[in-house]
Chains A and B, each alone.
Chain A
Amino acid sequence: MELRQRYEEDLTLVRGVLGWSALLALLAFLALLPVLAPGYFLYTASLVAVHVVIAVGLNLLVGYTGQISLGHAGFVAVGAYAAGVLATRLHVPWPGAMLGGGIAAAFFGFLVGIPALRLTGPYLTIATLGFGIAVNQVLTNWEQLSGGRTGLFLPKLAIAGVRLRDHHIYYLFAGLAAALVWIATNLVRSHVGRAFVAIRDSDIAAEVMGVNLTVYKTLAFAVSAFYAGIGGAMLAYLLGYLEPQLFTLFESIYYFSMIVIGGLGTIPGSILGAILLTILPQQLAGLKQYLPLVYGATIVLVMAVEPLGIYGRWLRIKLWFKTWPF
């Protein structure tokens, strides 16, 4: 246990030789992955990056601010389709299209945040769930906009006319995810993050303490939706193809499961959850019809053994070593 004497020390994200070497090892691993792993795994790794972005955003809303969303696939869809429409109809290059996807989703996040000001618990669950279903039905049936069930084909990712290959896409997505994770980590340590946590723990108390609920609740929805939108745009480019059935209630439930299994209210937890729930079904794909059984049992087991999620288990292990031999 080290003693922190100055405020700057408390602000530092990475501490000590151990912290830096762990971070460097992680970065080295991520950088070397294309050499170590074959192409098909890089696709899965890029998908993990997409899910990390979405999960981190969702955790800002659910884990930090305490607002349930079971319609997150709706925000992801808005982001994906906004990027898709920008790229195909207006020929916006991909960085602009991705940003546009994030902003469009953030706008819808703000809109959903307004009724959410009055709703909590199951009521908010149904309201957000309804939003997700509405987005899906609109995208399915408004063919002029979305291409409907025929789908929407996106141009390939390219920089200066050179098409990106698997490992380029992986580096791009990993970099994007890392940047967004870094932003989120800093956001939750700022006054905004503290306001979010105050709202989660008790919104009335937070309001009494001077946290403007209207601003911060809608902000939480908008930020979370922005992450979802960026994630959706990344997914759109990764697949090169969009179809409304990519964004159903099941996806919302899937994202929700990621953050709860990983660890609510923690950034590393969102990442761990996203990794586990992306790779697990993929590795189980050979089980065929036994997949749901094994997959479901794993989820139940993880949650029963470790109520705080995977990251909670990690914290306990760390605590055990820190306090050893006591």
Chain B
Amino acid sequence: MVQDMALLVQYVVVGLAVGSLYALVALGIVLLYRTSRILNFAHGDLATFGTFIAFALLTAWRWPFAAASLGSLLTTAVVGAAFFFLVIRPAKESTLLGKIVITLGLALVLQGATVILWGTGTKILPFPLSDIKVYRLGQVVVSQISVGSFAVGLALMGALYVLVQHTRVGLAMRAVSQDTVAAQVLGIPVKQIFALTWGLASALGAAAGILLAPATLLDPYMMLDPFLKGFAAAVLGGIDSMPGAAVGGLLLGVLEALFGGYVSVKFKTTLAFLIIIAVLVVRPEGLLGREYKRRV
């Protein structure tokens, strides 16, 4: 009985650790969607690209970890913003679905560039925390890296929340997301806000990638699955809600771990998606999303 309890708690702990990373990925997707209504399918590949930048800074340039992470976040942000200025803005005539396909094209380009620059081999990202070193609470085991990335993930989410809800820039971002034209009329530099959002979302992706890499190893395709789960988590929580993204990510992580553990490892993704569909049928706007109102 005690052992069963311990196992249950262990699954939940494992799920939370993974879920916090899903949540980070989801946050980047939500942030961009709120502002620009674009579902960014290049988010995963931007994140991978950023992680490889960190890898290059750490190994080839021998920067300290903090500096390398910062460098990676900044570079990825610049790439994201550049993408907005160079492609998305000039293509402003295109439909929303057209923009989705543009991001798909970008995903291929980034993936190709990553492969050409760093090869397809699996790599280790040097990380200050160890994943072999574990903490034990009774029979429940938590690795140092899980605790660390969970904490960093929460901190990043908190910082983002403060930025969006309690700063002038955040106010501008929210204004643009509610009504772009009105925001422009009121003198908000919409173009810069869009670029900032692209940069911020991309940097968040890179942060997620750097936190994921020690647990998943680093290769050009590492974000395929996490991106998908992050996207699903964002929708589960409500695609326009940032707290929703966090809740959705953690929930999806735990759900998957429990399903994998107690029902079937083979079908865990299917079951997770069935749950999401069931939730959406009851709440079409996601768990914490705003109710969908339209003018006809």
Residues of A within 8 A of B (CB): 62, 68, 115, 118-123, 125-127, 129-131, 133-134, 137-138, 140-141, 202, 204-205, 208, 249, 253, 256-257, 260-261, 264, 289-300, 303-304, 307-309
Q: Tell me how far the C-beta of B156 lies from the nearest C-beta in chain A, rounded to whole angstroms.
A: 23
Cβ–Cβ < 8 Å partners of B292 in chain A: 120
Q: Are A126 and B101 in contact, with the CB atoms below 8 A?
A: no
Instruction: Check if B107 is an interface residue, CB within 8 A of chain A.
Output: yes
Q: Using an 8 Å CB-CB cutoff, how does the interface string of B268-296 with A read, 1 for contact, 0 for none?
A: 01100110110011001110000010101
How many residue pairs at the A-B interface have CB separations less than 8 Å? 144
Cβ–Cβ < 8 Å partners of A133 in chain B: 269-270, 273
Q: Are A123 and B109 in contact, with the CB atoms below 8 A?
A: no
Q: Are B108 and A296 in contact, with the CB atoms below 8 A?
A: yes
Q: Using an 8 Å CB-CB cutoff, how does the interface string of B212-243 with A read, 1 for contact, 0 for none?
A: 00000000000000001001101110010000
Q: Tell me how far the C-beta of B66 lies from the nearest C-beta in chain A, rounded to whole angstroms.
A: 32
Instruction: Check if B69 is an interface residue, CB within 8 A of chain A.
Output: no
User: Of all chain B residues, which has the CB nearest A294?
Assistant: B112
Q: Using an 8 Å CB-CB cutoff, how does the interface string of B94-130 with A read, 1 for contact, 0 for none?
A: 1101101110111111111101100010000000000
Instruction: Check if B187 is an interface residue, CB within 8 A of chain A.
Output: no
Residues of B within 8 A of A (CB): 33, 39, 41, 87, 90-91, 93-95, 97-98, 100-102, 104-113, 115-116, 120, 228, 231-232, 234-236, 239, 266-267, 269-270, 273-274, 276-277, 280-281, 284-286, 292, 294, 296
Contact A118-B87, Cβ < 8 Å, known A296-B107, A296-B112 = no
Alpha-carbon distance between A253 and B294 when the two chains are bound, in angstroms: 28
Q: Tell me how far the C-beta of A219 lies from the nearest C-beta in chain B, rounded to whole angstroms.
A: 20
Alpha-carbon distance between A257 and B269 when the two chains are bound, in angstroms: 24
Cβ–Cβ < 8 Å partners of B239 in chain A: 121-123
Alpha-carbon distance between A134 and B266 when the two chains are bound, in angstroms: 11
User: Per a CB cutoff under 8 Å, which of B33, B101, B274, B286 touches A130?
Assistant: B274
10 closest A-B pairs by beta carbon, nearest first, are A296-B108, A130-B273, A293-B112, A299-B105, A307-B94, A292-B112, A300-B105, A296-B109, A126-B235, A304-B91
Q: Are B286 and A289 in contact, with the CB atoms below 8 A?
A: no
Looking at chain A's contact residues, the main secondary structure is helix
Cβ–Cβ < 8 Å partners of B232 in chain A: 126, 129-130
Alpha-carbon distance between A13 and B21 when the two chains are bound, in angstroms: 54
Cβ–Cβ < 8 Å partners of A295 in chain B: 108, 112
> In the complex, given contacts A118-B281, A260-B97, A307-B93, what are 8 additional A-B residue pairs having Cβ atoms less than 8 angstroms apart?
A130-B274, A137-B267, A204-B296, A208-B296, A293-B108, A296-B105, A296-B108, A300-B106
User: Of all chain B residues, which has the CB nearest A249?
Assistant: B228
Cβ–Cβ < 8 Å partners of B274 in chain A: 130, 134
Alpha-carbon distance between A304 and B95 when the two chains are bound, in angstroms: 11
Cβ–Cβ < 8 Å partners of A292 in chain B: 108-109, 111-112, 115
Alpha-carbon distance between A102 and B110 when the two chains are bound, in angstroms: 37
Q: Tell me how far the C-beta of B121 lies from the nearest C-beta in chain A, rounded to whole angstroms.
A: 12
Alpha-carbon distance between A127 and B94 when the two chains are bound, in angstroms: 25
Alpha-carbon distance between A18 and B296 when the two chains are bound, in angstroms: 42
Contact A300-B102, Cβ < 8 Å, known A62-B97, A307-B95 = yes
Q: Are B276 and A130 in contact, with the CB atoms below 8 A?
A: yes
Some 11 contacts from A to B, beta carbons below 8 A apart, are: A121-B239, A129-B232, A130-B274, A204-B296, A253-B104, A261-B101, A264-B95, A289-B115, A296-B112, A299-B108, A300-B102
Contact A293-B113, Cβ < 8 Å, known A68-B97, A115-B280, A304-B91 = yes
Alpha-carbon distance between A154 and B269 when the two chains are bound, in angstroms: 29
User: Per a CB cutoff under 8 Å, which of B33, B91, B266 touches A137?
Assistant: B266
Cβ–Cβ < 8 Å partners of B111 in chain A: 292, 296
Q: Are B284 and A123 in contact, with the CB atoms below 8 A?
A: yes
Contact A260-B98, Cβ < 8 Å, known A115-B280, A130-B274, A290-B116 = yes
Interface centre among A115, A299, A309 (most CB of B within 10 A): A299
Interface centre among A126, A138, A205 (most CB of B within 10 A): A126
Alpha-carbon distance between A304 and B93 when the two chains are bound, in angstroms: 9
Cβ–Cβ < 8 Å partners of A141 in chain B: 266-267
Q: Are A123 and B102 in contact, with the CB atoms below 8 A?
A: no
User: Of all chain A residues, which has the CB nearest B39?
Assistant: A122
Cβ–Cβ < 8 Å partners of B234 in chain A: 122
Cβ–Cβ < 8 Å partners of A115 in chain B: 277, 280-281
Alpha-carbon distance between A216 and B292 when the two chains are bound, in angstroms: 22
Q: Tell me how far the C-beta of A21 lies from the nearest C-beta in chain B, rounded to whole angstroms.
A: 33
Alpha-carbon distance between A120 and B231 when the two chains are bound, in angstroms: 15
Alpha-carbon distance between A123 and B111 when the two chains are bound, in angstroms: 26
Interface centre among B266, B273, B292 (most CB of A within 10 A): B273
Cβ–Cβ < 8 Å partners of A202 in chain B: 296
Q: Are B91 and A122 in contact, with the CB atoms below 8 A?
A: no
Q: Are A134 and B270 in contact, with the CB atoms below 8 A?
A: yes
Alpha-carbon distance between A23 and B41 when the two chains are bound, in angstroms: 39
User: Per a CB cutoff under 8 Å, which of A119, A131, A137 touches B284?
Assistant: A119
